[in-house]
Structure 1
Amino acid sequence: MVPLHVIFLWPTAQVWHRLPPRGTPPTPAAHREGDGGAVAPEKIRILVIDDDRDLTETVRGVLEAQDYEVLTADDGERGLELAYTERPHLVLLDLMMPGMDGYRVCRELQFGYTKDIPVVILTAKADLPDMMEASRCGATGFVTKPFRVDHLLQTVRNVLRDASVYYDEITGLPTLANVQVEMQRVLADHPQLGIIYVSLDGVYALEQLQGFEVVDEVFRVIGQRLLSARGELLRGDDYVSVSSLGNAFLIVLSPARDQATVDDRDLLAIKRRLEERLLRDLELELEGRLLMNIDVFVGYARLARSPKVRFRRALLQAITEATTRIESERGELRDRLRGELDRILTSQQVSCVYQPVVRLKDYVVVGYELLARGPLQSDLHSADALFDVARGADRLTELDRLCRQTAARSSATLPAQILRFVNIDPGALFRTLSDVAIDEYIAELPEALRAATVLEITEKSVIDDFDHCRTVIARLRAHGFRVAVDDAGSGYSGLQTIVETEPDYIKLDISLTRNLERSLVKQKMVRTLGAFCRDAGIELIAEGVETREELDALRELDVPYAQGFLFAQPGSPYPLRDRIDPAAAAIEEVADDA
């Protein structure tokens, strides 16, 4: 097996704190599972170790006033125990304590899980020899007693800021800046190293769709899985880093012990194992939570030692070579998916699944959103993948027409009073100067069903001609159609889309619904939008409701309608149900046949 050294690349943290160092257990301490599996960010934790309890309480008050979480210990042994079990982001440590003094505590913290926790000495011993001794023990900073509050807080901020340069706040992994010297040392011992570059596609679109919390969790899962791969793909003494080179992870491989260079066959074998493992683990870990596909691409190259080339330029050149291989694979995948799209359009292999829209005051099902799906075993099964490929192939109008026609046929057997929410792409209609597309919309449905059809205009797409948009909507309304603004609060046009379209419905984006009960800002936004809707005669629908807590918050805010996994997974509407009450002991889930 090829020995591996691992470096992970990710944009440098903007928040001034560090998650646990390498070698920690899988769940980062600063992000833990909350209700419904949501990831809840926690406060930065500071451990104060000092036998002066009055001073400790004073420091606690100062730090808690700045929204830090404070842990305290009045002796060295208890302090070490808390450092190992609670994994704080920073330790404030007194030097003169009975039993185990601060010097020894500081030295003990330099091993194992705690070795990368920054330590600030808080003591009355202000002589230069004391400071030098504390520095040799591993201290990061020094605050003398009695201290000024502003000086203590500034020192804490500076140390946490510096720590974020060396560790990524999302994954808890060391940054490239942290390990560059070690990388150069490894290269000095070998004429050549291997580079494997792991890149993720679909991250930006996922963040637009579901919010940064879900994307953070994707990167956290991958980081954890690569750490847990030690012993299988990675040696136990490998190192890991995250840097500002993009949405990527970089793995550095040293040659096998009996080889001077890295063999391409070894690089290719590890590439394939990583692709398989990461995709599998993402599916298992985040099953049901990702509303679109994430693609993993792995490229590889070799990094050669040269006295004529600076190390950083040599590293960037190797990364460029690895990413060039990835771009080649992306091109091959793009061609294959466009061929698959052509087959789907030619054979009209698009189906619909249904997700109920529920009235919250009595849980009566008032309608269904019709969601397009490609063939079950196809890479273009999800609507996002299907429309992304169609957009890139300039075939969006064809796909939009097929999805509309499929929705019209499949919903024809629903009772006439049940609303049908159908997504339309503004690019396929509102930027089309021909009247043909509009006539098609009107002709596809019998007159009796047009009043039950709500056309959803996504706010995530750009509408560049609102005059034409108003003309189209007026014609559709004249034939009985209703209009909804989808993904409100997430997209380009914001209030202008609402003002210009004067919708019958507004659908709150999932990013506003997610963890609504925990965010006062989100609650104020939803309350304000709800008041506007009531005054304007617009019905408000919350999308993406997944937990009982989110549902309770929506009802408290008088949001009248909702949809989401809490009520049902997308699937068949049959057998039809009049009510779906999430408070029932068990909700009959509708399987997603697509």
Structure 2
Amino acid sequence: MPKTKHKILVVTDDPSLRAALAEKLSASRFDLCYSDGEVMQKVFDEVPHLVVIDEGFKRGEGLRTALAIKRDMVLKYVPVALLAARRHALRRRKTGLIDLFFERPPEWKNFLLSIRRLLAKNYNELDLNPLTNLPGARSSLLRIERAIASRKRFAVCCADLSHLGVFNKVYGDARGDKVIARLAKIIQRAVKEEGGSDDFVGHLGGDDFIVVTHPHAAEGISRRIAELFDEAAPRFYDRRHREEGHLLERSDEGVLTRYPLIAVSIAVVQNGTRPLSEITEISAIASDLQRCMKKLPGSRYMEDRRQARRENDDKDQGVSETAKSVRIGGFGRGHEEKYRDFFVEVLEKGRIETLYQPIVDLRERKVIGFEAMTRGFSHSPLKDSSLLFAAAREYGKIQELDELCVEHVLKSGQGIGTDKKLFLNLNHETLITPGVMKRLFRKRGAIGLKSLVIEITEESILRSFQKIKDALFELKKEGVSVAIDDVGGGAVSLRDVAILKPDYMKFDRSLIRQIHRSKTKQQIVRSMLLFASGFHALTAAEGIETKEECQTAAACGVHLGQGYYFARPGKAFPEVIFH
């Protein structure tokens, strides 16, 4: 009987097999959850210790589902047991990725014993970092311990950002989190391009990441991380700071200081030149390398090449003499030219499309409005909205892009109906420009001003509070409603929100994700509901993806909901199927 109550996700649409698995696994004191739909999302939501999949799931899609989990950069660390038909069982074992195979139905005694043995190893337990969905500190440390115990050659690449604290001071923590999330994607891409199928990517917390790989792949991975990050880095900044090449801020001692732009440093520690028997050794070596790199400009990686010291060797082998340091130069000028050409085409030919996502009244179970979302055309390198707007900010064309987006929304959204609200996102540069709002909404057709809701982010409030306050006051005088997006992300004070008195408060999705499992999150949401009631604002939960999140948000008293659970963004106007 397991000492820890492990959670097992059962994936089958066969009622008799599901009942048999429920009986046997529950009797062995396992916690069970089930999926007969979106399996990958269910694994992310539940974070099970094991997934048991019926090969016959969805008319034979079980094996493909199992392989999709094992090939995913994050989910591959969750063990998978496949129940295969007798004639397929031996052949399925040859795939090499699945952890356990059993004939269907299994011999129950052997089935339970094999599961207990697998879970007893405990090295695949997945603790996801909430910002990046990568394995967290515990999984990362277990993976390094496993590499040490294997007595095989391995390397650990430790990635860290320079000057993120100053960046957060200027732009706010919410924008800093976006930098961290982008670095996570960059690391995963680099590992896919340069690493192997068994490589591990972990997020220790903050801006600290690790990659566990083979020494032969470590340099290629590290170089690619630095190259990709330097290509992305300019878009984290406003145009002025990018052109200046630094941030001017006071240090902790009060001295006005020029801080370079954010760079990534990767310390590479491997056991090819010296034995490594403790995680603390790896940490100490990586810290030495990081300290050395942070004294140098730009993104770079540094590989430790110090030999194990002999007892009679008195020489102090310093990092500068025994480590290889490589600077990654430039910000990818060729890529910038390519993006500039595509962006010019976006503005000149209007090559964008507008998608709409429903916003639902959780109590009445009806659609009250739609949020308009803009992206580039399907085959454009600027299809992703974050890249599109980053390019606009880079080239000083945010207001022009905002105007183009509003024009598209007002054309495609004419059929929304007078009883529905139309939620629009605008950047602070557009909001604070005198007279621009009247020009933007001059050709709104059948859409009345009272149907419009302008969404602003906490970031906009941080950057231009007084100007934003004045702009919102003018909007509200015209009958336009105001929503503050991402409330609860930690970037702006509730005092500022209270002064602005928005009509809607949209909770940051980090508060809503798995809210049914967190009493703390539920209490925070209830407190914010009480706060919002003080100025009669309606509240909305963003990022609802499961029935449990929806039910818990409604039980807390949240008025509105939005997310994939109701509908994905689509062309005007997606229907909602109420579950």
Bin for the TM-score computed over the shorter chain = 0.5 to 0.7
The one-letter code of the counterpart of 1:473 is L
Q: Is the 8 A contact 1:36 1:546 kept in 2?
A: no
State the SS of the aligned residue for 2:532: helix
Question: Which of 397, 410, 413 matches 1:411?
Answer: 413
1:70-149 pair list within 5 angstroms? 85-88=119-122
State the SS of the aligned residue for 1:362: coil
State the SS of the aligned residue for 1:229: coil
User: 2:498 aligned with 1:499, yes or no?
Assistant: yes
CA distance in 2, matches of 1:354, 1:392: 26
CA distance in 2, matches of 1:370, 1:85: 46
CA distance in 2, matches of 1:199, 1:349: 37
CA deviation after TM superposition for structure 1 residue 253, in Å = 4.4
Question: Which of 320, 326, 351 matches 1:313?
Answer: 320
Q: Is the 8 A contact 2:505 2:538 kept in 1?
A: yes
User: 2:178 aligned with 1:171, yes or no?
Assistant: no
How many residues are paired up? 384
State the SS of the aligned residue for 1:397: helix
* Cα-to-partner distance string for 1:88-137 (whole Å, 9 max, x where unaligned): 58xxxxxxxxxxxxxxxxxxxxxxx9xxxxxxxxxxxxxxxxxxxxxxxx
Once structures 1 and 2 are overlaid, which stretch shifts more, 440-449 or 299-308? 299-308
Normalised TM-score (structure 2)? 0.54
5+ residue gaps, structure 1: 1-31, 44-78, 90-112, 114-166, 187-193, 256-261, 277-295, 584-594
Instruction: Give the aligned partner of residue 90 of structure 2.
Output: none
Compared with structure 1, are the counterparts of its residues 524 and 362 closer, same or farther at alpha carbon in structure 2 (3 Å cutoff)? same
Compared with structure 1, are the counterparts of its residues 527 and 474 closer, same or farther at alpha carbon in structure 2 (3 Å cutoff)? same
* Cα-to-partner distance string for 1:285-306 (whole Å, 9 max, x where unaligned): xxxxxxxxxxx99999997979
User: 2:57 aligned with 1:38, yes or no?
Assistant: no
Q: Is the 8 A contact 2:515 2:549 kept in 1?
A: yes
Task: Answer 1 or 2: higher relative contact order, Cα 8 Å, separation at least 6.
Answer: 1
CA distance in 2, matches of 1:227, 1:532: 49
Instruction: Give the aligned partner of residue 429 of structure 2.
Output: 427
Q: Is the 8 A contact 1:484 1:507 kept in 2?
A: yes
State the SS of the aligned residue for 2:567: coil
Instruction: Give the aligned partner of residue 363 of structure 1.
Output: 365
CA deviation after TM superposition for structure 1 residue 199, in Å = 9.7
Instruction: Note the aligned Cα RMSD (angstroms).
Output: 5.3
CA distance in 1, matches of 2:202, 2:511: 33
Once structures 1 and 2 are overlaid, which stretch shifts more, 528-537 or 244-253? 244-253
Instruction: Give the aligned partner of residue 445 of structure 1.
Output: 444
Instruction: Give the aligned partner of residue 582 of structure 1.
Output: 578
Q: Is the 8 A contact 1:168 1:174 kept in 2?
A: no
Q: Is the 8 A contact 1:488 1:494 kept in 2?
A: no
Q: Is the 8 A contact 1:438 1:472 kept in 2?
A: no
The one-letter code of the counterpart of 1:86 is A
Instruction: Give the aligned partner of residue 484 of structure 1.
Output: 483
Q: Is the 8 A contact 1:174 1:241 kept in 2?
A: no
Compared with structure 1, are the counterparts of its residues 439 and 242 closer, same or farther at alpha carbon in structure 2 (3 Å cutoff)? closer
Structure possessing the higher radius of gyration over alpha carbons: 1
* Cα-to-partner distance string for 1:248-272 (whole Å, 9 max, x where unaligned): 64866459xxxxxx9xxxx879989
CA deviation after TM superposition for structure 1 residue 331, in Å = 4.0
User: 2:400 aligned with 1:398, yes or no?
Assistant: yes
Instruction: Give the aligned partner of residue 355 of structure 2.
Output: 353
Compared with structure 1, are the counterparts of its residues 360 and 547 closer, same or farther at alpha carbon in structure 2 (3 Å cutoff)? same
CA distance in 1, matches of 2:440, 2:456: 14
CA distance in 2, matches of 1:446, 1:412: 7
Identity of aligned residues (%): 22
CA deviation after TM superposition for structure 1 residue 207, in Å = 8.3
CA distance in 1, matches of 2:564, 2:465: 34
Q: Is the 8 A contact 2:202 2:209 kept in 1?
A: no
Compared with structure 1, are the counterparts of its residues 475 and 205 closer, same or farther at alpha carbon in structure 2 (3 Å cutoff)? closer
Compared with structure 1, are the counterparts of its residues 364 and 310 closer, same or farther at alpha carbon in structure 2 (3 Å cutoff)? same
CA distance in 2, matches of 1:445, 1:39: 41
Normalised TM-score (structure 1)? 0.52
State the SS of the aligned residue for 1:416: coil
CA distance in 2, matches of 1:252, 1:311: 25
Question: Which of 169, 183, 197 matches 1:229?
Answer: 197
* Cα-to-partner distance string for 1:202-243 (whole Å, 9 max, x where unaligned): 9x979846998x99899799889988625xxx9xxxx99999
CA distance in 1, matches of 2:481, 2:402: 18
1:278-293 pair list within 5 angstroms? none
5+ residue gaps, structure 2: 1-32, 34-38, 50-112, 125-135, 165-172, 229-263, 267-298, 308-314
CA distance in 2, matches of 1:479, 1:344: 31
Compared with structure 1, are the counterparts of its residues 270 and 476 closer, same or farther at alpha carbon in structure 2 (3 Å cutoff)? closer
Instruction: Give the aligned partner of residue 94 of structure 1.
Output: none
The one-letter code of the counterpart of 1:169 is R
Q: Is the 8 A contact 1:442 1:476 kept in 2?
A: no
CA deviation after TM superposition for structure 1 residue 524, in Å = 0.7
1:202-221 pair list within 5 angstroms? 208=177
CA distance in 1, matches of 2:323, 2:443: 55
Q: Is the 8 A contact 1:170 1:220 kept in 2?
A: no
Compared with structure 1, are the counterparts of its residues 306 and 551 closer, same or farther at alpha carbon in structure 2 (3 Å cutoff)? closer
Q: Is the 8 A contact 1:210 1:510 kept in 2?
A: no
* Cα-to-partner distance string for 1:122-173 (whole Å, 9 max, x where unaligned): xxxxxxxxxxxxxxxxxxxxxxxxxxxxxxxxxxxxxxxxxxxxx9534346
